[in-house]
Amino acid sequence: MKLNQEKVRGKNVVSIKDVQEGAKVSEFTRLFQYIEEVGKLIGRDRALRVLENLIITKRLNWLKKNKEKIELGTGSINQAYETFFYKYLKLTPEDVEIVEKNEDKLVTKWRNFCPVLEACKALGLDTREICRKCYEKPVQIFLNQINPKLKFRRNYEKIRPHADFCEEIIEMGR
């Protein structure tokens, strides 16, 4: 993680955003260290599934808490995209490049700050494995609450740090 430092009255000053991002990286680093230790006891894949289930529960609880503000069951790709990425993850339009967008398909390239990416880099973990085993299904389940026809996938050939962006696709199934 690169800090954006400014000189103020001859002293290096770090932004509040950098401090918050650093705290998130520390939190995820500790979480993944813990999962690796638990994996030694119960098996790594089983430990990653436990984390995946915790993430699913957290996201479903968020949807339940915010159900009055969200159209569940029949939402469009765009509604699902905005709800998950902007409302839930609190990302911004500046974080994403929309490669393709129509009523049946949305392809995005994400270059945002990502604590999972930074923690994986710090610990030497492969984001292709961690994102697939812990984070893909929770996104799918979240989006399915908005519309059961939505299908989410991540292009694991185009994922950071192996590419300069993470490519994700949401499609409307029939």
Task: List the chain domain ranges.
Answer: 5-172
Which residues is 107 bridged to in the sheet?
100, 169
d(CA 97, CA 108): 6
Instruction: Summarize pLDDT for 10-41 with one digit per residue, the tens.
Output: 566 567 776 777 778 899 999 999 999 999 99
Q: What tokens appear for 96 in the block?
A: 């994403």
Strands 166-172 and 105-110, bridge-based pairing: antiparallel
Q: What are the CA-CA distances from residue 20 to residues 3, 115, 161 (Å)?
A: 11, 10, 21
> 5-172, which class in CATH?
alpha beta
Instruction: Summarize pLDDT for 122-147 with one digit per residue, the tens.
Output: 999 999 999 999 999 999 999 999 99
| Between 173 and 168, the higher pLDDT residue | 168
d(CA 119, CA 115): 6
Strands 105-110 and 150-154, bridge-based pairing: unpaired
CA dihedral of residues 63, 67, 71, 76 (deg, nearest 10): -10
pLDDT of amino acid 8: 46
